[in-house]
Amino acid sequence: MTSKEKVTVITCGDPGGVGVEVALKAFISEADAGRGRFVFVGDGVVLRDGIDLLEADIELRETASVRDAKFDGRTINFISPEIIKTFRKGQPSPEGGKASAEYIRMAVELIMKGEAHALVTAPISKEAIKMAGVPYPGHTEMLADLTGASDYAMMLCGGPLRVILVTIHVAIKDVSSFITKERVLKTIRLASKASEMLGIDNPVIAVAGLNPHAGEGGIFGDEEKREIIPAIEEAEREGISLKGPYPPDTLFYSAYKGEADVVVVMYHDQGLIPLKMIAFDKGVNVTVGLPIIRTSPDHGTAYDIAWKGIANPESMVEAVRLAERIKNRDG
């Protein structure tokens, strides 16, 4: 199958949020440029309301499978779980949580069966999926379970920065206890895998320290000596080229200048603050370690501006384009 024949699945996300709006805007952007073969997974009533909101000249075509889709640039082929009949806009709801989880499950099934080749997910609400009784804290954990992945990580791309996280949603007071040699080493390996996935030859992978001045030889904390440096040394023995651990306050300046391809960071805000400062509207999340290609915009459901027609689609557009680049490079 040629790259032009490969299909990307786009899930609509939480119906009450901005997901449908930004997904439709991304589709229009790519269709206007003559790029991509996309199938949406979502309920027809949600997509129709989104098209009406944007006053877009787009046809909707429900299909039973990807194989039955017809691509002409102005038609959205969609597969529906037929969960949503009416829905609440601008707020989380149990029906929204149930629907958004089912969109993900259906999309993964399509890819695992070989009908599609990449996944772009619009934002979901952790609150809504909890209200629906869905037993996952978010997208990443759900995708890992559905695909059988055990080692995975979140990588954020924006501008010249790519950051991959050792810990994600962990309270600052608990971060230190999660910084183990095993976790750091696993993330380094995934950084190497991500570089390969993105087509980066001979990548420069830089590792951030946890403490100020990367611990200053143990004066400001010993996690670097106990856990991070041993992980770096083992990764180097495996043939992975690394630098660090570096003081985080100087590392990102170097990475911004292009002196590192991927930065391994120890906790959420350590990596996301610099990335969002330079690429707030264009950040993309890539889940590394899954057996499928998955990207998403680096923002949430934004209920406060949902269904007003004013959501910025740039992050979703970048997520679609990155999924397409990875997908087409993959064969």
Any domain includes 68 = yes
Q: Examine the pLDDT at 329 and tell me if it is beyond 90.
A: no
Q: Specify if 76 maps to a domain.
A: yes
Task: Answer yes or no: is 281 within a domain.
Answer: no
* Residues 132 and 221 grouped into a single domain: no
Does residue 164 fall inside a structural domain?
A: yes
| Domain-terminating residue out of 250, 276, 302 | 276
Residues 269-293, mean pLDDT to the nearest whole number: 94
169 and 250 fall within a common domain = yes
Specify the pLDDT at position 330: 65
Q: Are residues 186 and 244 in the same domain?
A: yes
Q: Is the dihedral of CA 29, 30, 32, 33 positive or negative?
A: positive
Domain-embedded: residue 247: yes
Q: Check if the beta carbon of residue 12 is closer than 8 Å to that of residue 19.
A: yes
Are 237 and 315 within one domain? no
Q: What is the CATH number of the domain that holds 260?
A: 3.40.718.10
92-135 pLDDT, tens digit each: 999 999 999 999 999 999 999 999 999 999 999 999 999 999 99
In the chain, the percentage of residues whose pLDDT exceeds 90 is 85
Q: Closest Cα partner for 231 from 150, 169, 166, 317?
A: 166
Cα–Cα dist 71/93, whole Å: 33
pLDDT at 152 over 80: yes
Helices then strands, counting H and E runs in the chain, come out as 12, 12
Residues 252 and 214 grouped into a single domain: yes
- Has residue 107 been placed in a domain? yes
62-74 pLDDT, tens digit each: 999 999 998 988 8
Buried b (16+ CB within 10 A) or exposed e, 89-124: bebbbebbbbbbbbbbbbbbebbeeebbbbbbbbbb
For helices 314-329 and 19-32, angle between their N-to-C axes, nearest 10 degrees: 60
Same domain assignment for residues 121 and 189: no
* Residues 54, 123 within the same domain: yes
pLDDT in tens, 26-49: 999 998 888 889 999 999 999 999
As a whole number of angstroms, the distance between CA 134 and CA 96 comes to 11
User: The domain containing residue 119 runs over which residues?
Assistant: 3-149+290-329
Q: Is the pLDDT of residue 3 over 90?
A: no
Could you list the beta-strand ranges (E) of the chain: 8-11, 38-41, 59-62, 75-79, 118-121, 153-158, 161-165, 205-208, 242-246, 262-265, 284-288, 294-297
Judge if 57 and 69 occupy the same domain.
Answer: yes
One domain for residues 145 and 158: no
Residues 23 and 161 in one domain: no
How many CB atoms are closer than 10 A to CB 55?
A: 7
| pLDDT tens string 125-135 | 999 999 999 99
Count of structural domains, the chain: 2
In a domain, 282, yes or no: no
pLDDT over 90 at 223, yes or no = yes
pLDDT at 120: 98
Q: What is the pLDDT of residues 294-313, one digit of tens each?
A: 999 999 999 999 999 999 99
Threshold 0.75, pTM exceeds: yes
Report yes or no on 323 lying in a domain: yes
40 and 176 in one domain?
A: no
What mean pLDDT do residues 204-227 have?
Answer: 90
Are 115 and 182 members of one domain?
A: no
Per-residue pLDDT band for 244 (boundaries 50, 70, 90) equals very high
